[in-house]
Structure formats: C-alpha cells, structure tokens
Amino acid sequence: MARRSALLLSAGVLGIVSWLLTSSFQLQTFVAPRPSTILRRGQTACHAIGTKTRELLFQPGQRVTLKGPPAMAGSQGIVVGPALGNAFAIQFDNGSIFHIETHNIEGAGTQAAAQIDFNAVRADLKNLMDDPNWDDGSYGPLLIRLAWHSSGTYSKYTNTGGSEGAAMRFVHGAEAKDPENAGLAHAIKYLQPIKDKYPLMSYSDMWILAAYVAIEHMGGPSIEFKPGRVDTPNEKGPEWDGPVIDGKASSRLPHAEYGLVEGFDRDKVLDSEGRILGWERLAQHMRDVFYRMGFNDREIVALMTGGHLWGRCHPEHSGYAGPWVEEMTKWSNEYAADMIEDPWRMVSHSDTWLDTIGAEELRPAPGKRQYVNKFPPAEGGSGLDDPNQMMLVADMVLLWDPAFRQTLEEYAVDDTGSDDNHALRRDFAAAYKKLTELGTRTLTACPFAH
Ligand code: HEM
Ligand SMILES: *[C@@H]1O[C@H](CO)[C@@H](O)[C@H](O)[C@H]1NC(C)=O
C-alpha cells in the first residue's frame, strides 16, 4: 500500500515536473498531465505505467561480456536465465553463477528493447485452462499445485529453495522424481506450448503466473504478479533435508501421514474421537514445514483452506483418492465449512463398501489412510445421497488442533452470502503471494500486469 502510493506520488510529481519544464520552455503551450498517470477504478499505479517500462532482455544461451562491477569487468559468461527487470543469471566459464545487473552487461541499451506482453500470456493461459478431457474440466487445480510445490521448498534458515529455479522441469532430477511431485509433469508439459510462445519468460515465472490466472479464472482472489524469477540451468534442486522416512531423508514438502501410528484396524489406530493416534506429531510436522517457510498458524490454515478446495487426489499420483469439496473448480469456503459440519470417518483400501454405495472414487490405494464424509449404512449412513468428499489426515489436523481450528471456524462462516468468507479470500491471496515469492531475488519492483 505504502509503495503503491509512493509510486502514485512519484508519477504525479513527474507529471507536474514535466509540465513545469515544458511550460517554461514553451510558454504558450499548456501540457495536460499524461492520461496514463490518472488511475481508473481497480487500476494500480503499475498498470498505468507498466506498459511504458522497457527493459533490454538477453536470451538464455547468449554469450556476454561484463563491463562491471569493477572486479568482474571483462569476464565472459553465458546467460542461463532470463530475468525481466534488473538482473540476469550469468554462468561464467569457471562454472560459477552470479546475478548480474543489466547495466553491467556489455551491449545493454544497444539492441532493440524486448518486452513480454503479460496480458497476452494471461489471455493464452486462460484460453487453455478449461479442458473437458482433464479431470473435472480444468487444468487449474493442477497448476495451483505446481506453483505451490515449486515454491514450498523454501527454507528461511538457509535462504534456499522457493519458486526460483524451476528445477522440477528436468525429468531426471531429484525434484521431478520426488514422490510428493507425482503428477506435476502433466502440468509442466501442458504449459510448454505457452512457454515456447514466450521464450523470454522464465519457467519459474510461467508456473507462478499460470497459478494466479487459474485462481482468478475459477473465481478466487486476484493476485498481483511480479515477474523476474530466474531458472536454474541444471537439475540441481533444493537439498533433501526433510524428515527421515523409511530410513531415507525426504524432500522439504509436507507429508500427508507423517508421524501417525501404522495400521488399518480402526479399533487399534483411532482414539475415542476417531482421530488417528499420533496426529499431534503430524500437526508438528506441518508447523515445522510451514514455519521453515516463514508462515504462522493462521497462514497455514489460509493456505490449506484456499488450496484444498481445488481439484482432487489421484490414486495414481499420491495414492489418495477423491475431491475435498463438491464444486472443485469454483472458489468457495466449502473446505472449512464441510470439515466442521460433516461427520468424518477413516478409510483405507479395504473399505470396499465405498464401491458398493457408488463412492469408489473415494477409496485410496493400498497402504494409504484418509477420511471420507460417508459412513457405511451399518454405522448410520444412509448410503443414498451423501456428498462424495475426502480429507487427508493432514487436512483433519486443522480440525483437531485447537489453534488451527480457531481460524478454520472463522473461515467456515459464510459472510458473503455466496459460500465464501471475506477474511479467507484476503488471507489466502496474501499467503499464496508470499509463498510464491519466497526466496526470490530479482523480481521487478513493479508488476506489469496484475
Ligand atoms: C500439509 C500440507 C499439504 C499436504 C500434505 C498436501 C497433500 C496433497 C496431496 C497428497 C494431494 C493429491 C495429489 C494427487 O494425488 O494428485 C494434493 C493435491 C492438491 N494440493 Fe495439496 N497438500 C498440502 C498443502 C497444499 C497447499 C498449501 C496448497 C495450495 C495452496 C495445495 C494445493 C493442492 C491442490 C490444488 C491439489 C489438487 C491437484 C489436482 O487436482 O491435481 N496443497 N495435496
Ligand atoms: C569465476 O569467475 C567469476 C568472474 O570472473 C569470478 O568473479 C569468480 O570469483 C570465479 N569463481 C571462482 C570459483 O573462481
């Protein structure tokens, strides 16, 4: 807000200064303030000035010579990632990679200016997003998960990971092979034609913008986009310093059943309230993961509530099965509302009664446990028209942990009259933007297209 008014102010001051200059040199001519400095409703200062901003862009692979900073003058290297704005990743002949400010690169300013038309990228993304042949008719949910998983590796302790890099695009790299990322290759492939059409845009920017467009297109909040993420030239992703699982260090992404007791016998693994024993350790795991990124409890609930309303789990990706809410391609607060209102029951692969009542899409793969809001007729379920919904154990934790639950209850209230909640909309937009900008170093100060 402060920055925005500062921008507005400087745009205004510029207008006045140029008016003063012009009027003193050409006394007879009155120069009106430029119309682009006057904002329309809903427009940001950056909308107004964005299209006037031009930056010289170097192509990835291009060999460049540096004129500065002094210690590096004369060094040669290869551009390894496009960055709109003020810096490029340059790999030197000795292998080191540095972010070099554009004005330090020989030739800056002598070539024709290149520019990415982000409004055109947005339009292309939006046009391709709805696809009757994919899942529930939209690639949106998968794209929202891609941006989350490419950002969710950030660690504030080492300032590593995050959305910059996009190492997941290297199919043989560790990030692509992370079991937590199963299925995301579909999203990367789906975006490739748009990436090809805008070669100056980095993969890491493309993935984040695609998620913002998806959220907005499906009725969620608009998130202001800042370009400038730099792709890594090789498959080396963030360290695998997550908890040890089955004797091996895991990635930094959260695990849906971490810390729970093993077993599928409801009489043995559940407490009197139907919670899987050990759930407190899972709650701690979620805090460990999201605190490492710099989030607090409220932001965790906002991210989960605004994230797990889209799309579904796929037995062939994660082993879990089914959607969280009934309308999984439309923004709402249903996740929080249903979690609190519905009865939830643990199920595993052997719960074949789900198939019997026509809810086979909710039966997880062998070895997995999740919750569904259906009970078999013998336990009081009608078996008729209960909605088909699921929750991961990591979702249920928000209901069971008193601090998480407080925020969940707040978001569950429909205070808009349209299955929505003002605070959720605001908090999710802020938290998702924060998530997708974690660890970035070269974002432009001013978004070109919101
Ligand atoms: C503890 C944290 C989380 C865990 C354990 C978790 C786990 C999962 C799992 C297991 C799936 C199913 C993948 C599949 O089978 O295709 C999934 C899907 C999804 N997740 Fe999460 N998730 C977490 C947090 C988030 C957050 C913070 C967001 C976004 C803000 C998010 C967005 C999504 C979306 C949109 C899908 C659906 C993708 C599709 O329809 O293909 N998740 N998540
Ligand atoms: C690699 O080259 C760059 C540019 O000349 C230099 O600044 C950097 O210190 C070198 N790195 C190593 C490890 O020699």
Which ligand has an atom closest to residue 64 CA? 2
Predicted local confidence at residue 47, as pLDDT = 38
How confident is the prediction for the chain on average, in pLDDT? 84
Query: Closest Cα to atom 19, ligand 1: which residue?
Result: 145
Probe residue for ligand 2, chosen from 63, 94, 99 as the CB with the greatest number of ligand atoms within 8 Å = 94
Query: Closest Cα to atom 9, ligand 2: which residue?
Result: 96
Task: Write out pLDDT tens, residues 346-363.
Answer: 999 999 999 988 899 999
Query: Closest Cα to atom 7, ligand 2: which residue?
Result: 72
Query: Closest Cα to atom 41, ligand 1: which residue?
Result: 142
Task: For residue 259, report the phi and psi dihedrals to the nearest 5 degrees.
Answer: 85, -5
Please say if 149 is a catalytic residue. Answer: yes
Predicted local confidence at residue 201, as pLDDT = 84
Probe residue for ligand 1, chosen from 131, 144, 145, 389 as the CB with the greatest number of ligand atoms within 8 Å = 145
For residue 265, the CA-to-ligand 1 centroid distance in Å is 26
* Residue 95 alpha carbon, nearest atom of ligand 2: 1
CB atoms within 10 A of CB 326: 12
Task: Write out pLDDT tens, residues 168-199.
Answer: 999 999 999 999 999 999 999 999 999 998 88
For residue 100, the CA-to-ligand 2 centroid distance in Å is 13
CB atoms within 10 A of CB 336: 29
Predicted local confidence at residue 418, as pLDDT = 94
Probe residue for ligand 1, chosen from 149, 289, 301, 308 as the CB with the greatest number of ligand atoms within 8 Å = 308
Query: Closest Cα to atom 21, ligand 1: which residue?
Result: 308
* Residue 431 alpha carbon, nearest atom of ligand 1: 30
Predicted local confidence at residue 441, as pLDDT = 82
* Residue 92 alpha carbon, nearest atom of ligand 2: 2
Which ligand has an atom closest to residue 74 CA? 2
Predicted local confidence at residue 204, as pLDDT = 93
Ligand 1 neighbours (beta carbon < 6 A)? 141-142, 144-145, 148, 183, 254, 256, 286, 303-304, 307-308, 310-314, 317-318, 320, 392, 394, 432
pLDDT beneath 50, residues of the chain: 1-56, 109-114, 446-450
Which ligand has an atom closest to residue 321 CA? 1
Domain 254-436, CATH number (from 1.10.3720.10, 3.40.47.10, 1.10.420.10, 3.30.200.20): 1.10.420.10
CATH number belonging to domain 118-238: 1.10.520.10
Please say if 422 is a catalytic residue. Answer: no
Probe residue for ligand 2, chosen from 72, 78, 92 as the CB with the greatest number of ligand atoms within 8 Å = 92
Catalytic residue, candidates 47, 149, 285, 308: 149
Catalytic residue, candidates 324, 331, 344, 400: 324
Predicted local confidence at residue 399, as pLDDT = 98
Predicted local confidence at residue 43, as pLDDT = 40
Task: Write out pLDDT tens, residues 260-304.
Answer: 999 999 999 999 999 999 999 999 999 999 999 999 999 999 999
Ligand 2 neighbours (beta carbon < 6 A)? 72, 75, 92, 94, 96
Half-sphere exposure (Cβ direction) of 204: Cα atoms closer than 13 Å? 31
Give the list of residues 6+ apart from residue 357 with CB closer than 8 angstroms, or none.
Answer: 374, 376, 377, 381, 383
Domain ranges in the chain are: 2-50, 63-104, 118-238, 254-436
